[in-house]
Amino acid sequence: MKKILSLILIALVCFMSVSCSSDDSNNDNTTNEIQLIIQASNYNVKVGESVVFTVKANDKKVNDAKIYMDHQEIGYTKIFDKPGRYNVIAKREGMIDSELITVVVLDVDTPAVNFISVGSKTYNIASSFTRLYAETVQYEGENLVRVYELETSTGLVKFCRYVVEVRTSDFEVNSDKSIKGALSRIYKIVLQNGDSNELIYPGVPGAEEIDINGFIVSESGNVEFKDDAIELLDIKLKAFRDESGKVSIDIKAADNSVNYAGSISSMYAIDTSKDDRSKHLKGNTSLTEFSFDEQLSCIPVLSKGK
């Protein structure tokens, strides 16, 4: 296996870049078999800051649910006036309660738990802007996760490429290519079962995952780091269209670092209406421009859409 992984690492000569779009919907008429999902606009805030909660069911917004914080009903927007860890849950008659989420409130002078550090400057990561992407390819008019094939001395190896992105809420690249805020991306591959069309994605128990490399772009400068700087990149997905999954990141690269432990949203939706293609993940993806010199080309001889 080590030999196979080494060959794959040699073959990975380029990065991928994807971005996603999310959809908003109206209230959902559901049954008691449907579980609510609650999200927070930010899971780590400071005293005096507000958090906006969103409740969904079947990927549609639910506006008449009741939200409780430590057993006390609150509204959809909450301003926190004391530091601490607050458990929040959504309830609605006729539906299954959401899982608990936790909002961490820090004193004003307390350093942020989730951050990107470049040199002497630290940027706070916005939980609502944390994403897991997949590299995709157009196949028969659909956007499917790209599957790579690599011939090795021990046989054919298949793998897919994914990227975890964390950023500040104010991150943007201006028309003059100047950067505001900070963004970091970490790349990984997941080995696939050569005898099956069903894709294996990050976070699945037993999945063979390899953390490759990554970069940071920020107002303070750009940084590239290799796999030996990635001390931890752990993803736990709840579903294909993931609303409440978790990711833990710990990167130490010279004077630069990324630290994150919180929520992650993924790019995935599974389409069960199309025979064997229902086993492929779909995502609304496109290339994203940065002033950082990313290598956006792929390895064409290895790509297969199905």
End-to-end CA distance of the chain: 24
> What pLDDT shows up at residue 7?
52
Per-residue pLDDT of the chain (306 residues; tens, 9 = 90+): 545 555 555 555 343 333 333 344 344 444 457 899 998 888 778 888 899 999 999 888 999 999 999 889 999 999 999 888 899 999 999 999 998 888 888 777 666 678 998 987 888 888 778 888 887 766 666 666 777 888 777 788 888 888 899 998 888 888 888 899 999 999 999 898 877 767 787 887 778 999 999 999 999 889 999 989 999 999 887 766 666 788 999 999 888 899 998 888 776 544 444 434 334 445 444 333 333 333 222 332 233 333
User: Is 127 within a domain?
Assistant: yes
Domain boundary among 106, 141, 162: 106
> What pLDDT shows up at residue 18?
38
Contact 158, 169 (CB under 8 A): no
Q: In sequence order, which residues have a C-beta less than 8 Å from that of residue 225 and are 6 or more positions away? A: 213, 214, 215, 216, 251, 253, 256
> What pLDDT shows up at residue 116?
92
- Backbone phi, psi, residue 33, to 5°: -85, -5
155 and 66 housed in the same domain = no
Domain that holds residue 78: 37-106
Domain boundary among 58, 87, 106: 106
User: Is 304 within a domain?
Assistant: no
> Which residue, among 93, 306, 117, 125, has the nearest Cα to 198 in the 3D structure?
306
CATH of the domain at 98: 2.60.40.1080
Domain boundary among 48, 78, 106: 106
> What pLDDT shows up at residue 306?
31
235 and 280 housed in the same domain = yes
78 and 162 housed in the same domain = no
User: Is 285 within a domain?
Assistant: yes
Single-letter residue type at 18: V
Model pTM? 0.59
- Backbone phi, psi, residue 205, to 5°: -55, 130
Contact 253, 229 (CB under 8 A): yes
> Which residue, among 77, 244, 260, 253, has the nearest Cα to 165 in the 3D structure?
260
> What pLDDT shows up at residue 30?
42
> What pLDDT shows up at residue 8?
56
The tokens describing 120, both together, are 């002497």
User: Is 231 within a domain?
Assistant: yes
76 and 146 housed in the same domain = no
203 and 153 housed in the same domain = yes
Alpha-carbon gap, residue 115 to 220, rounded angstroms = 14
User: Is 1 within a domain?
Assistant: no
Alpha-carbon gap, residue 102 to 214, rounded angstroms = 28
User: Is 131 within a domain?
Assistant: yes
User: Is 206 within a domain?
Assistant: yes
193 and 266 housed in the same domain = yes
